[in-house]
Each structure stands twice: as C-alpha cells, then as structure tokens.
Amino acid sequence: MRRPLFNRLLGPSVETEEVDPRAVQGRLLKGEEEAVAGAAQTRIEQFTAGRVCSRIALSRLGVTKATPILRGEDRAPIWPPGFVGSISHTDAWCAAAVARSTDVRSIGIDLEPATPLKQSLWRRVCTQRERERLATLADPGLTGKILFSAKEAVYKCQYPLTTTFLGFHAVEIEMDDGSFEAVFRQEVNGFRIGDVVRGRYLVEEGLVASACELLP
C-alpha cells in the first residue's frame, strides 16, 4: 500500500484522502453520475475515486451529510458552500484535498507519473528561462515533469479565484529541494505580474505529487 503523499505537502488546515482508483470503495451520488455518463471505465473509476476521497476528507471537517460534488461547465469541482478543495488522479492513484474557506482561500493539487517530460512538450510547457535551467541539469526530463506538475497545481489553485484559463507560460517555476515558487508573468483577476504562489512537491514510488494552498 502506497504511503499518502499530500498530507506531507499541505498545511494543517487541509484534510486529504488518497486511494487507488481501481480499488475504490464507494459510489457516485445523484447529480454526479451524469458527469461521466457514457465515459470509459477508467475515467468513471477516477471520477468516482475523486468524489469518494473528497467526501471522506470533507467528513473530517464536519460535512457528515453525503453531499454531491458537482462539476461546473469549466470542469472544476463545485465544493459545498464554505469549503475549498482540489482533486487529481492518475491511472494508479487519486487524491483529494479540502479545507474550510475561512482557513484556506484555495488549494491546488496534481499527480503525474514520474516519467520524463517529453522533449516535444518542453517548448509548450516551459518558458525560455525554465528551458535554459533544465538544459543545465543531469536529469532534465524528470525535473521538467515536476515543473509541469507544479504548474498544473498552481492552475487549479488560481482557477476558483480568477475563473480564467492560463497557458503554461503564464507562470514561471523556481524549484528548490521539495518546494517551488510560481511567479506570475501575466496579470489576471487578483494576481499581478511578480505575485508568487508557493508550493511543495515530492517524487515517490513512481509518482510526482505537487500541491499549493493560498491562505486568507
């Protein structure tokens, strides 16, 4: 059994739950089922695992009534009033992280297989400065994947606040031994150029996990 990842990456106000989506115990609620009607089995498993994990984590914050977590047209989860959260999954692992909105303004989490970022994606994912830094490293592929994962986590964290799609060059990542800073290079509702979102990452048992949270 894998050791949980995100309780080591997020602060004490955040509740996390993780599961292998192929072995999830639980089911979707009415209203959630429609979101994956007709989808492939793996997608249904991952979606179900995300909802089940979210409900378990929410129950630790006092949400004991089974509450559907619907999906917006933008695909972002709609959390119960008074709560924030984030979901991520791969074929082999799924995680949800939630908190009270009085304690945490927004959360972003991401899981990726710990495989090198394909060279064909470097230009799309990385700014010129990031590519120059990667080129000096012994293992640029895996570092590139961590950078990609950090950007996905930052995207999910900023989205509920800005409701704005951001391309990969909108933030620039600086990494340092398990932590990262995402520096905004573009102005977007509530974030100015130079604003920083701080997060943490780890690489373990074939997965990259990244997470960030914004405090009130």
Residues that bind ligand COA (CB under 6 A): 46-47, 50, 71, 74-77, 87-89, 110-111, 151-152, 154-156, 159, 166, 168, 170-171
Output the smallest distance, CB 138 to ligand COA, in A: 26
Output 130 or 140, the one with its CB closest to ligand COA. Answer: 130
Q: What stretches of 16-120 show up as alpha helix (H) in DSSP?
A: 41-59
Angle at 122 (CA atoms; ends 159, 214), nearest 5 degrees: 25
* Rg of the chain over all Cα atoms, to the nearest angstrom: 17
In the complex, least distance from residue 49 CB atom to ligand COA, rounded to whole angstroms? 8
Which of 61, 94 has the CB closer to ligand COA?
A: 94
Return the number of the residue (98 or 138) whose C-beta is nearest ligand COA.
Answer: 98
Distance of closest approach, residue 64 Cβ to ligand COA, in angstroms: 22
Considering the complex, state which of residue 50 and residue 144 has its C-beta at the smaller distance from ligand COA: 50
CA angle 164, 166, 167 (to 5 degrees): 155
3-state helix, strand, coil in the chain (%, to 5): 30, 30, 40
Smaller CB distance to ligand COA: residue 101 or 138? 101
* Phi and psi, residue 5, nearest 5°: -100, -45
User: How many Å separate Cα 133 from the centre of its chain?
Assistant: 24
Instruction: Report, in Å, the least distance between residue 119 CB and ligand COA.
Output: 19
Q: Which is nearer to ligand COA, 68 or 138 (CB)?
A: 68
State the nearest-atom distance from the C-beta of 84 to ligand COA, in Å. 10
> Which residues, in sequence order, are CB contacts of 52 under 8 Å at separation 6+?
19, 24, 25, 26, 27
Q: How far apart are CA 151 and CA 173, in angstroms?
A: 7
The kind and range of the H/E element at 154 are: helix 140-162
117 contacts: CB under 8 Å, gap ≥ 6: 125, 141, 142, 144, 145, 147, 148
CB of 165 to ligand COA, least distance (A): 6
